[in-house]
Amino acid sequence: EDVAESGPTGKLYTMGCDNTGRPTLFMRPAVDTCREAHDLNIKHLVYNMERACSYLDEANHIGKIIVVLDCLNYTSSNSPPLKSSKATLQILQDHYPERLGKFLILSAPWYFNMFFKAISPFIDPDTREKIDFVAPKDTPGIRAELEKHFDMSTFPDFLYGDWKGEEAFNAATYYTSEGEE
């Protein structure tokens, strides 16, 4: 399927929940291998947003997700095109405005902060309030912030967690019914 072709590296996937039961969507742009395929990447984003929403527990009033954007090793050479970044924000804001509970941005490079400041006026104020930049390249600070939201024993070690078991993302099972949580 198209979506599986876009995400074999785990650049974007849903896994587990935060401490309040919100499904977690991980974004790791530095491991993207098909950043120029705009339409495919947008389709991949929507697939993963829908997948995260399918795990929502409306009966227990958990109707929001948490997004963790890992910017470790993120550089201008491996960043998505501006067109894709704008489309991502537009989709999250216009199609999932009430689904976003929190958006954590880890280890953002300085130019990422400048980009965010430039586009902030175009982001809905309610959405903007849900976005937190977390301790750039400060591992203890990042971990302390993540501990507020997650059980670190179930959080992947490549994202400052303690879980060193199986690889956190396995494309062979993620895009099949076996990968459904």
Whether 181 is in a domain gets the answer: no
Query: What would the two tokens of residue 97 be?
Result: 């405005």
pLDDT for residue 56: 85
Whether 66 is in a domain gets the answer: yes
Q: Which residues contact 64 (CB under 8 A, 6 or more apart)?
A: 22, 56, 98, 99, 100, 101, 102
DSSP 8-state code for residue 162: S
Q: Which residue has the tokens 């963790």?
A: 68
Residue 82 identity: L
Per-residue pLDDT of the chain (181 residues), as tens digits, is 577 776 677 788 888 899 988 999 998 887 776 767 888 888 889 999 999 988 887 656 678 999 999 888 877 777 778 888 888 888 887 888 788 899 999 888 887 788 788 888 888 888 889 999 886 666 778 888 899 999 998 888 878 888 776 566 777 787 776 455 4
**Host domain of residue 136:** 2-176
Whether 40 is in a domain gets the answer: yes
pLDDT for residue 167: 67
pLDDT for residue 79: 78
Q: How far apart are CA 126 and CA 111, in angstroms?
A: 23
Whether 80 is in a domain gets the answer: yes
CB 25 within 8 A of CB 64: no
pLDDT for residue 46: 92
Q: How far apart are CA 84 and CA 110, in angstroms?
A: 20
CATH code for the domain of 95: 3.40.525.10
pLDDT for residue 177: 63
Q: Which residues contact 87 (CB under 8 A, 6 or more apart)?
A: 38, 42
Residue 24 identity: T
pLDDT for residue 50: 92
> What's the number of domains the chain is made of?
1
pLDDT for residue 35: 65
CB 111 within 8 A of CB 28: no
pLDDT for residue 162: 84
Query: What would the two tokens of residue 117 be?
Result: 């400041």
Strands (E), the chain: 12-17, 23-27, 65-70, 100-106, 131-134
CB 15 within 8 A of CB 26: yes
